[in-house]
Chains A and B, each alone.
Chain A
């Protein structure tokens, strides 16, 4: 079997996490009852006009920069014409000859072998709607019509299913890292089509390829590549010619099958969309986007471990979620104890909903022993409810750690006077009796006493009795 190799190129569609759709101000996020997140523009009603969302250009450019692409100075939108009931306009607004980004690459590592996979282009386009099939017929839901997508087209540089997987995993990591999409295959915010042909090992020509569409998990992509390669080899060995066609993968049978329904080849009859004017990006625009490109995830991890001295597990937990890592980096600039900050953030189930300056303030209050260690959770809860200043909440909730030795002194005296039995036990050698006295001190100070200071003070006073 080793005498053939597969030649694979991937087309990946990723939904951009903008607030609104690409050409209208409908919300772009998932959910909602059918046809409640659409308008005459994304439903393609006559007389409506699309207007491009500025953030789509920014997000797509940032994605391109993260993938080492050149960003266009001149780009334009084109119409791709085809009939399908989930596409109300009967054309998709996409890009043909002037995509926003071109000539990028991703470096992957499979079993210790480094390989560079070229990226031909990244273009912006609108998503189609969804069809719902019932017994009675089919219904169209236009909520997804006009959700912004980028299509990332790779060079046919991939040779194995393992390389395809490594490419997709790295692609997902980088796009999530640059903060323009959550890239979830399960929800469809990342989708992949595979183009595959085979050739004898050593041959450099490209032969008839097939396209496998609608793969919705990494596992299926890997399995579909193996199944399609095996099928093409069988066909070739049996002397049957391969046909350029679109196929689907059936995971139950672990086979691909032809989707071809019409003999006529589709012809998209692309032409420049007369409703949309060219996109011109200046060097200043490029520089502005460039300034938003973060360091690579592995560089960030190394920085957390080597410079901020975080344990590796802590650093990894932060870097898994790009939004969390960025928030941590912002807050860490103003704190002396980054490890304490990391622990506070990771202990909170929704750390990203709290602004960086609040994390900084909390960490610094903790580090200076101004609040006790159980205070942050109470303060965060109160902050979420009221949105008040942390310093005001510390006062209001009485969470200050008592620094006032005069107060601590008098509380300790009161506690000793009020608990003669515990005092006697302690003096008789039962050291554990001091815990009862400590408990009383914490109760009378509402937990605000510094435990180390209070214990030392108690011991000192008891020794003098």
Chain B
């Protein structure tokens, strides 16, 4: 299995990763190796097998539509991030 430079580029962009040029080759072959494992899985005959939606034998795990009365304090909620006036601070997105 081969992974061309363009695909690696796309993957990096989708993941918002800057990959240093000297790491590209090692990463390419490592991902290619992973894809080879999947190729092995693809060799299995899955004719007539229902696609698996979830590995746990569970269904309909649902909750009632009732609000929880005690809310977490905003200062606590935002304590792990930079914030100003209750808003989570971000790099400038628009304009």
Contacts and interface: CB of A to CB of B under 8 A. Distances in A.
A85 B82 CA distance: 14
Interface string B45-61: 00000000111101111
B91 interface: yes
B26 interface: no
Interface stretch (A167-175, A276-284, A319-327, A403-411): A276-284
Please report whether the interface of chain B is mostly helix, strand, loop or mixed according to DSSP: loop
Given A138-B93, A277-B60, A54 B78 contact: no
Interface in B55-70: 55-56, 58-68
Contacts, number: 125
A387 to B, nearest CB: 22
B66 A83 contact: no
Contact of B89 (A27, A51, A98, A137): A137
A356 interface: no
B59 A278 contact: yes
A40 to B, nearest CB: 7
Contact of A51 (B54, B61, B72, B74): B61
B34 interface: no
Nearest to A53: B65
A19 B60 contact: no
Contacts of B16: 83
B18 interface: no
Contacts of A43: 77
Contact of A139 (B68, B71, B84): B84
B94 interface: yes
A264 interface: yes
Between B56, B60, B62, B65, the greatest number of chain A beta carbons within 10 A of the residue's beta carbon is seen for: B65
A269 interface: yes
Given A20-B66, A277-B61, A280-B60, A35 B86 contact: yes
A138 B66 contact: no
Most chain B beta-carbon contacts within 10 A, residue among A40, A51, A83, A140: A140
Interface in A8-51: 18-20, 25-27, 33-40, 43, 51
Contact of B88 (A20, A139, A280): A139
Interface residues of B, number: 37
Contacts of B61: 51-52, 276-277
A272 B67 CA distance: 27
B90 interface: yes
A145 B10 CA distance: 28
B77 A52 contact: no
A280 to B, nearest CB: 5
B85 interface: yes
Contacts of A278: 53-54, 59-60
Contacts of A85: 90-91, 93
Contacts of A133: 92-95
28 contacts: A19-B66, A20-B67, A25-B63, A25-B66, A25-B68, A26-B67, A33-B86, A35-B77, A38-B77, A39-B72, A40-B72, A52-B62, A54-B63, A54-B64, A56-B65, A76-B54, A85-B90, A85-B93, A133-B93, A137-B91, A137-B92, A138-B93, A139-B85, A140-B88, A267-B14, A272-B54, A277-B60, A278-B54
Interface of B: 10, 13-14, 16, 53-56, 58-68, 71-72, 74, 77-78, 83-95
Given A25-B63, A276-B54, A278-B54, 11 more contacts: A34-B86, A36-B71, A57-B62, A133-B94, A138-B91, A138-B94, A139-B85, A140-B88, A264-B13, A277-B56, A280-B60
Q: Report, nearest first, the 6 A-B pairs whose CB atoms are least far apart.
A: A139-B87, A55-B65, A25-B68, A34-B86, A140-B88, A54-B62
